[in-house]
Structure 1
Amino acid sequence: MKKTSTRDNLINAMTDALQRKGLHGVGLNELLDIAGAPKGSLYHHFPGGKSELAVAAIERISERIDSLFAQLFSHQPDPLNAMHSWLQGALQQLESSGFERGCPLATIALESSADDVEIRAALQRSFNAVRQALSRQLRAHGYADEQAENLAALFVAIYEGGLLQARVAGSSEPLRRAATALFNLAREQFPGGVRP
C-alpha cells in the first residue's frame, strides 16, 4: 500500500472537514490531528494557511470528478441510471453519517464571502468541472450538446440543493423527491432511452 505524504494527508483531512463541518467549523489543531501531521507542517506545505489548504482540497475534488463519472457511466448503459447511482451513493453517505457528511463544495460555498477570492475561484472551477464531466458523459450517451449541458446543470443544482435540504432536515426525502421529479421528466423527454 502506498504511503501518503503529509501534504496529501492534510488535503484529505481538509476534504473530510469541509464535508462535515465546513471551513470555519474546523480548527487547525483538529486538522493536524486528523492528518496525523506535526505542528508547523500546515504552514510548511500551505504558507497561506487554512484557506490555501481549502483551495487545495477543492482542487483535489475537481481532479477526481472525471474518473468518478467515467467509472460510474461505464457500469451503466443508461445514463439516467448512472446519475441515479451517484445520487444513491451520496444519500447513503449522508444517511450513514447521521446527516453530517454533505457535499464539501456546497458547505464551503455557503460560508464563503466576497473576500474569499481564491476559494470562490476554486469553487467556481470545481462546480464547472462537475458540470463538464457530467455533460461529457451525457453527450457520449447520445444527448445533444445543449441538452447534455442543461441536464448536467439541472442535475448538479438538484444534487446540491437537495443534499443541503436533506442535511438540515435529517431526512433524505428532499433529495429523493427532487431526483424523482428530475428523472421522471428526463425519461418523458427520452421515453425510449437516449441512443447515440
Structure 2
Amino acid sequence: MARSTREAILTAAAELMRHKGYGALGMKDIAEAAGAPIGSLYHHFRGGKVQIAREALVNAGAAYALLIPTIIDEHTDLGEAIEAVYAQAAEDMAGTGFANMCPVGTVAAEVADTVEELRETSASVIEAWVAGGTAYFVGRGLDEAQARDVTLAIVGALEGAFILARTLRSTEPLLAAGRALAPQYRGTRLTAQPDPERVLPGGVGFPR
C-alpha cells in the first residue's frame, strides 16, 4: 500500500534526524527526502518543523519499541538475550555505515535545554520504552523492580554505545556493553513468551 504524503514526510524527517540531528534539519531537506512539495509540509503540519519533528520522534519511538520482543522472544536466559540485543545492534550499525541508530536519543541530547517541546516529546518516548520494556519482562517472569532495572540498563547502555560506536566507527563499544551487562543476568530464566495482548507497547530499538 502506498504511503500517504503525511507518512512520507514523517519517515523522511526521522531518517534525516538520525543523520543530521534537529538543528541542521531544514524544511527543504524534509520535502526533498519525502518527494513532496514544500507547501505540503505546511499543509499537513501547521506547526512547522517542530511539529514534524515531534510526530516523527513519536512514530520512530513506537517502531523501535518492537526490538525487545523481536530479539528476546526466542531466548529463555536473560543474559543470553541481552548479549543478543547488543550483537544485533552492532551488526545493524555496521551495516548502515555507522549511521546514528536512534533519532530519539540524538534529538534528546541536542535540544534538552533549548526546545522544551521536543525535550518533553523525547522524554515521553523514553518513558514509554521503559514502561513497555518493564511490562514485557514482567510478562516473562521477572518481578517489576528487576524488570524496570533491566530495561533502563539496556536502554541506557545502548544509547551510550551508539554514540561511541558512531564516533569511533567501530562495533566494539556495542559488543563490549553486551559482554559487560550480560553476565549480571546470565542464569536468570525467562518464562514462555507473554501474551502479546497483555504487553504494553514500549521497549528499546534500532532499525534493522
TM-score by length of 2: 0.83
- Rate the CA distance shift 1:108–1:39 in 2: closer, same or farther, 3 A: same
1:54 matched to which residue of 2?
53
Higher relative contact order (CA 8 A, sep 6+): 2
Contact 2:10–2:55 (8 Å) recurs in 1: yes
- Asked if 1:193 is matched to 2:189, the reply is yes
Using the TM superposition, give the Cα deviation of residue 135 of structure 1 relative to its aligned residue in structure 2, in angstroms: 1.5
Contact 2:76–2:191 (8 Å) recurs in 1: no
The worse-fitting range, judged by mean Cα deviation, of 89-98 and 10-19 is 89-98
Contact 1:109–1:120 (8 Å) recurs in 2: yes
2:122 matched to which residue of 1?
123
2:113 matched to which residue of 1?
114
* CA distance in structure 1 between the aligned counterparts of 2:164 and 2:88, rounded to whole angstroms: 17
Contact 1:11–1:57 (8 Å) recurs in 2: yes
Q: Extract unaligned runs of 5+ from structure 1.
A: none
SS at the partner of 1:40?
Answer: helix
Contact 1:61–1:126 (8 Å) recurs in 2: no
- Asked if 1:162 is matched to 2:161, the reply is yes
Using the TM superposition, give the Cα deviation of residue 96 of structure 1 relative to its aligned residue in structure 2, in angstroms: 1.7
One-letter amino acid matched to 1:117? E
One-letter amino acid matched to 2:53? A
* CA distance in structure 2 between the aligned counterparts of 1:146 and 1:67, rounded to whole angstroms: 22
* CA distance in structure 1 between the aligned counterparts of 2:78 and 2:133, rounded to whole angstroms: 10
SS at the partner of 2:100?
Answer: coil
Q: For residues 46-96 of structure 1, what are the alpha-carbon distances to aligned partners after superposition, in whole Å with 9 as ceiling and x for unaligned?
A: 112111111001111233345443343433334444443333333223212
- Asked if 1:105 is matched to 2:101, the reply is no
One-letter amino acid matched to 1:37? A
Contact 1:79–1:138 (8 Å) recurs in 2: no
**Percent of residue pairs identical:** 28
Contact 2:75–2:190 (8 Å) recurs in 1: no
SS at the partner of 1:4?
Answer: coil
Contact 1:10–1:42 (8 Å) recurs in 2: yes
1:64 matched to which residue of 2?
63
Structure 1 vs Structure 2 CA RMSD: 2.0
Q: How many corresponding residue pairs? A: 192
- Rate the CA distance shift 1:89–1:18 in 2: closer, same or farther, 3 A: farther
